[in-house]
Structure formats: C-alpha cells, structure tokens
Amino acid sequence: MSTEFKQRAEELVAAGRFLYQRGWVPATSGNLSVRLRDGRIAVTVSGRHKGFLTPNDIMITDANGQSQDGRRPSAETLLHVQIYRRCPDIQAVLHPHSVNATLLSRMLGGELLLQDYELLKAFSGIDSHECSVRVPIFENDQDIARLAAKVDAHMDQFAPIYGYLIAGHGFYTWGRSVEDALRHVEAFEFLFECEMRLRGVNKS
Amino acid sequence: MSTEFKQRAEELVAAGRFLYQRGWVPATSGNLSVRLRDGRIAVTVSGRHKGFLTPNDIMITDANGQSQDGRRPSAETLLHVQIYRRCPDIQAVLHPHSVNATLLSRMLGGELLLQDYELLKAFSGIDSHECSVRVPIFENDQDIARLAAKVDAHMDQFAPIYGYLIAGHGFYTWGRSVEDALRHVEAFEFLFECEMRLRGVNKS
Amino acid sequence: MSTEFKQRAEELVAAGRFLYQRGWVPATSGNLSVRLRDGRIAVTVSGRHKGFLTPNDIMITDANGQSQDGRRPSAETLLHVQIYRRCPDIQAVLHPHSVNATLLSRMLGGELLLQDYELLKAFSGIDSHECSVRVPIFENDQDIARLAAKVDAHMDQFAPIYGYLIAGHGFYTWGRSVEDALRHVEAFEFLFECEMRLRGVNKS
Amino acid sequence: MSTEFKQRAEELVAAGRFLYQRGWVPATSGNLSVRLRDGRIAVTVSGRHKGFLTPNDIMITDANGQSQDGRRPSAETLLHVQIYRRCPDIQAVLHPHSVNATLLSRMLGGELLLQDYELLKAFSGIDSHECSVRVPIFENDQDIARLAAKVDAHMDQFAPIYGYLIAGHGFYTWGRSVEDALRHVEAFEFLFECEMRLRGVNKS
C-alpha cells in the first residue's frame, strides 16, 4: 500500500462519515472515489456502508474501473471512470444518495434549473448569482456502461456541468480534490433542499 | 449470562442508541430483539427508553415469548415471535416508531407501494430498481396475539415481505443479523421520508 | 447548597442541554423547574440560555415563586407554581418552545385533539391508542398571574391534562420526576410533528 | 497578534462551527466579524469554510474594511463596515446563509413581517409578543458598496432593525457581542422556520 493510497483512502473514509452524518448515503447507498497519481482509481468496495468505512473498504481499479485485487468495486464505478477520462483536472468523484436528489430526479423531466441563488458561487468558475446552473437528469439504468455513454454524450453538447441526477437514484458531482467535491455536494444539497421546499409552499 | 447473550445484548443497546439518535424511537416507544442460538429470544424489557438501554434492560424469553426471569418483555414480543417462527434465517427483529411510519400508516389504506427507487436494492434479493416493494399496513390492535395472527395470515399469501406497518404505530422489519435489520430500517425510513415529502409537493 | 438542590440543579442543566440539542429551546426561550422536598422550587434564572446552563443558573424560590436569593426567576415561574400547587405528585415542570408547538398553538383555536396514536400510551395512565388526548390552547398573555388563573380554571373543569399550549409561545408539560417530564416532552413533540406534517399533505 | 485579537478570533471560530452544525453556513457561504477595541475589524478570510475555521482564517481590516495584511476579506465585508459605522454599540456582525432565509427572501417582496411570536422577546428592547418586527429584504447585488448604501438609506428611515435579508442570499444580524449576535441568529432562524412551515400548511 503506497502512502498516497493510504492518504486518499483516509480521505474517502472521512468523506463517507461526513456524508452519512448528514443523511446523504443511507443504508449501503452511494459510492466514492479518488484518482491516484498513476491514473488508477481508489474506490469504495461494493455493498459497504459509507458511514462506517475503513481503509480496508477502499480498493484499487485501473483507469478503466477493472479490479486490481479481485474484489468488486461499487456497481457504478464506470460512471466515475467516465468523469476521470473526460476531465484531467478532476481527481475525486462522489455519488451521494439523498432524499431531495431522489425526489427531484423523479419529479422533474430532463433537467433541474438552478438560478438566482447566491450559493451558485460555490461552483468553481461562477462568480455571480446572476446566472443559472443546469443539472441534467438521466433515466435510471442498471446497465451502467450504457448510462455512462449517455452522460458522456450529454457532456459533448453541454459541458461544463457541475453534477447530474439519475432518476430515483441520487446525484454525481466531482472536484479537483475530495474537499472540492464535498463543497460541491454541500452546495447541491442546499440547493436541492431549497427547490424541494419551494415546491411545498402554498401559493396565495 | 452466556457470552453470546452479552454480545447480543450489547448489539441491541447500540441499535437502540442508533435508532434514537435518528428520532425513530421517541419516549419509550419501539422494541428490539435477537434470536439466540438455542432458539430463545433476547428482547427489550417493557417500558425502557430505547435510546438509553443498558444490557440490564435486555431480558430472555423462550421461543414463545414467555419470560424466563419474571420480568415483562415488550408488549409486542409476540410480533417478534411470529417472525422468528416463520423465518428460520431471521435472527433480529426491530420495531422503530418514526413520525413518517406513523403518518403513512394512518394516511394509507391496505398497503404502501414503493417503486422506482434505486434504494430498493438495499433489500436482500432485490437487484434492480425496476420492481416494486409492497409494505402491508395492519390496523392497530392492543390484542397482540390477534395482530400476530393477521400478520401470519398475510405472509401465507404474500411472502416474502421486508417489513410491515401498523396504523398509527410504526413499523417492523428484520434481518439475518442486527446489522442487516438496521440496514433495512435505514432503507425503509429513507423511502418513508421520500413518500411523505412527495405528498407535500404542490402539483402545478 | 443542599445535596438535594445540587442533584436537582444538575438534572435541570442536563434537561436543558437535551431539549436544546433537539431545537426545542432556541435562544433564551423556555424554562425548567423541580420541586424540592421542602416545597420550595428550583427554577432557571431569567434570561439564561437553556442549552448552556450551569448549576449557577438554577435558583430557589419559595412555594409561591418568590425569589429567595434576590435573583429573578424565569418570567413564567407562576405557571410552574400553579401546577405544583394543584398536583402534589408532580415534582418537575418543563416549558419547551419548539417550532411545532408555536405553530400549532397559533393555527388552532381552543385545543389540539390527539387521537389514534400508539404513542399516547407514553402518557401515564393511558394504556391504549383507542382514546384521545386534548391539549388546551391558551391565548398568550404577558400577565402571567392572569394566565395561571386561566390554566387553573381550565383544570377545574377538565383535569387531568398532560400539558397545554400557549398561542405563539410553546407548551408546558410535567411529571413525577424530570425524567418523567422529559418523556412527556418527547411524546408531545413527536405528536406535534405528526400533526404539523399531516397539515402539509396534499389531499388527492 | 494581540491577546484581544486571539480571543475574538477564537470566538469567531466557535461561532462558525456552531452555525455550520445547524446547517446555516453550507459550503463556503456566510461571513463573520467582530470589531476590535481600536476600531479595526476581525473578519473571516474570503472563501474559507465557516464550519472548519482556524484562528488563521480570521484577518484584520481597518474600520473601512481595507485589508491590513494583504489577504482578501470576505466579499461582503463592506456590509459589516456599514453596521459598525452606524451603530457604536454593535461589536459583532454575522451573516449566515440558511435555506429558510434564502427561500423567504426570494418568495417575499420588500419585507418579512414577524408578529405574535413570544420569541420576538429575544431581540434586545422587546418585552412583549404584542408587537411586530419588520425584516427588510434587499435585492441581491454583486456590487457590495451599492448594497451597503441601500441598507444604510433604509436604516435612515426605519431604524432600529434587528437584521435584514438579501434575496436568494441569506441574512445579516448583529449584537453587542458574538454571543448576543448568535442569540439573534437563533431567534431569527426559529422564526424563519415558523414562517416557512406556515406557508406549507394546507388551508381547510
């Protein structure tokens, strides 16, 4: 085990605990990864509870998401691979599974439009609330390779995006580091909560 | 006190604290049990606060729920017995008492239908969101033997189920271990929260 | 300082921290008291933050709520006195100030009716969900003596009650001990949350 | 570093952690300041996560908000300066960024009117619920100097106010000390939660 892997694994363990304490990775949902300097990926082992990870629950795959140690990585590892392939500057991908992301992705068709929120400035490269962020929503699909291809095709047209939703499933976001990606998760979850609460307000 | 009992009692104490911290066993509600290897049942003593249990608040009953030590087990012990009798592979039964389970069980008649949720995969044996899970809702009844018989009759027709609701009362779920049962609680509570929030969203 | 006072003061400090962690005594709201064996009352000093009490924030009044040490007791001490006078078996009175109690007490006129909840069994003397608990709602009033008289007159007609609401203000409940009273707070807050959520559900 | 600065910096670090634990400064939102005895301002450095501050994330500006050490203060420092200039007795200004403040400030035009809440008494100088507190809502603006001028003009007409909202952005409040300002934050957030929940209740 390299020092780099040990450090990254500890970051993912802490990220899992952080996300769980906020209710964003219930049961054994969600998955987390970091890209190592040599291009391989440190990712959560399939079926682990993200709130109670140990470094031993983090495994290594090659750049294509193929296991290097015989253990099975999270089912959606190919969605992480798609982001790493496309974005050389992205080193961490997080997939929380919150109530709000689940509901908005089921209720809305096509995309969630976020605008007039000061917090949009939390996303790298945005320096004013006077803009909008589009969060695409993809149909859920147990064929992850096919889902990854859809995400990739979408990014060909609409990049840059800061994250996306999968219907009934949660959302994906990423960053230049685990800390950067966690800041994006916090911002998205705040905005998802705003959007859900707005829809519960009675007009009149 | 056998080592096995001590270990199981500690698991129930920890489970109670876990459920309480999430608001799922308010006041002295809820009850928790584990089946011991010899078929007897370790169950919470009646009227204890599940958030602050000590091993001394866990007692032993025989396989029929009859106290072995003169103390009174939780009023609903017979509902635990019904599950253990029917399902040899089930070793833990949990009865939380959350706001969402209470409300959904009062609002809906007959059953709660859960579908198009990725998190359904948290239930053993389900490997796709493209399915539905039916959660039966039983009328509340202070005659627990009668209620247990109704649950048993339902399972004759519709097994397997992963849990059930009692109107105005909360829900029951179970698993091959306390950890397994807690994962089911987390998954159900997540889905109950989704279902309640959906019902608060204004159409238009 | 008697040993009895020291112990009771510690119980109130712990109760304040407990209530605050759940969001039920924001800012400097709420007040807490215990009756001492000699009939005097240990009560929170006016204006203290209930989440961060020290024993030094607990003072003693006589049975009429008159300060014994020159410090000012919580403004609503007379409401505690009214309960202690009327109910010899009650040794603790708690006044949390939660969002749900505040809203229900503003929205409803006259009383809140709680029924068909298994959790009603948390109230001493209730052993079935097949009953109802009436929670009277009093107009808010800065003249606490007058408010206490209204509560007393109500109890002449309708005792026993387990607690009452003051419009826009929160609620009062009590018990044979601080632990007993806290169990009542937990049960009421659970039921208040149920009642508020029910009112947010869209029919259809 | 003076002892005074060290103490104030520690207070801001603790205040940030407190606000974050309640979900009121997600991602890197919000900013916090204290006025030092010599009139200079201790304020959070731009872009820091308020939940994980260290004294090293607190910098000093002059009374006009100009950096004294080359680091960039929070973008909205001029809004803090405006309050300190106007109110000699105010020594702390806090800007949380909660979901409820964000939503109410977007939904309402002009002002939020708070009345018939006992908790209004948490605001210095209010000793009855029989009054109302007006919380002005300003359009969001990336030109902070212009926004500060609008706030100042408003106060010329309507002072005293206890806080104000910025559309889609959160709110500002202040006090004679950090503790005093935090009490105001707690009171406002409680009242914002009340106002949001009221708007989700179905008439009938």
**Mean pLDDT in chain A?**
93
> For residue D100, which phi and psi values (nearest 5 degrees)?
-65, -40
Residue D48 CA, chain-centre distance (Å), reads: 17
Q: Please check the confidence at residue A204 and state whether its pLDDT lies above 60.
A: no
Is this complex scored with an ipTM above 0.95?
A: no
* pLDDT score at A60: 96
* pLDDT score at B52: 96
More confident residue, C159 or B102: B102
* pLDDT score at A26: 95
Q: Please check the confidence at residue A203 and state whether its pLDDT lies above 70.
A: no
Q: Please check the confidence at residue C203 and state whether its pLDDT lies above 70.
A: no
* pLDDT score at B131: 80
| Smallest CA–CA distance from A182 into chain D, residue | D27
The DSSP-derived string for B101-128 is HHHHHHHSSSEEEEES-GGGGGSTT---
* pLDDT score at B13: 98
Question: Tokens standing for D106?
Answer: 């977007």
Instruction: Answer yes or no: do D190 and C26 touch at CB < 8 A.
Output: yes
From residue A59, how far is each of A62, A63, B1 by CA, in Å? 10, 13, 40
Question: CA quadruple A115, A118, A119, A120: dihedral positive or negative?
Answer: positive
Give pLDDT tens digits for D130-160: 688 999 999 999 899 999 999 999 999 987 8
Beta bridge partners of D174: D93
Nearest 5°: the CA angle A165, D105, D203 is 85
Q: Could you tell me if B54 and B11 are in contact, meaning their C-beta atoms sit under 8 angstroms apart? A: no
- Identify the weakest region by mean pLDDT among B85-94, B96-105, B194-203, D55-64: B194-203
Give pLDDT tens digits for A21-63: 999 999 989 999 999 999 999 999 999 999 999 999 999 999 9
* Residues of chain C contacting D163 with CB distance shorter than 8 Å: none
Beta bridge partners of B165: B137, B171
C77 confidence band (pLDDT: 50, 70, 90): very high
Instruction: Answer yes or no: do A99 and B190 touch at CB < 8 A.
Output: yes
Distance from CA of A158 to the nearest CA of D (A): 25
Q: Please check the confidence at residue A159 and state whether its pLDDT lies above 90.
A: no
Amino acid in position C39: G
Give pLDDT tens digits for B157-171: 987 899 999 999 999
Closest CA to A64 of A46, A88, A39, A30: A39
Closest CA to D16 of D48, D61, D52, D65: D52
CATH code at D3-198? 3.40.225.10
| Smallest CA–CA distance from A143 into chain B, residue | B128
Q: What is the pTM of this model?
A: 0.95
- Identify the weakest region by mean pLDDT among A20-34, A53-67, C140-154, D119-133: D119-133
What percentage of chain B reaches a pLDDT higher than 90? Answer: 85
Question: Tokens standing for C188?
Answer: 């009421």
C75 confidence band (pLDDT: 50, 70, 90): confident
C137 confidence band (pLDDT: 50, 70, 90): very high
Distance from CA of D100 to the nearest CA of A (A): 8
CA dihedral A78, A84, A87, A92 (to 10 degrees): 110
Instruction: Answer yes or no: do A26 and B190 touch at CB < 8 A.
Output: yes
Tell me the C-alpha distance between C133 and C117, whole Å. Answer: 10
D129 confidence band (pLDDT: 50, 70, 90): low
Give pLDDT tens digits for A81-119: 999 999 999 999 999 999 999 999 999 989 999 999 999
Instruction: Answer yes or no: do C97 and D119 touch at CB < 8 A.
Output: yes
Nearest by CB to residue A202, choosing from D49, D169, D199, is D199
Mean pLDDT computed over B64-76? 92
B203 confidence band (pLDDT: 50, 70, 90): low
Domain coordinates in residue numbering, chain B: 3-198
* pLDDT score at C204: 54
What percentage of chain C reaches a pLDDT higher than 90? Answer: 84
Q: Please check the confidence at residue D74 and state whether its pLDDT lies above 90.
A: no
Instruction: Answer yes or no: do A201 and D196 touch at CB < 8 A.
Output: yes
| Smallest CA–CA distance from A200 into chain D, residue | D200
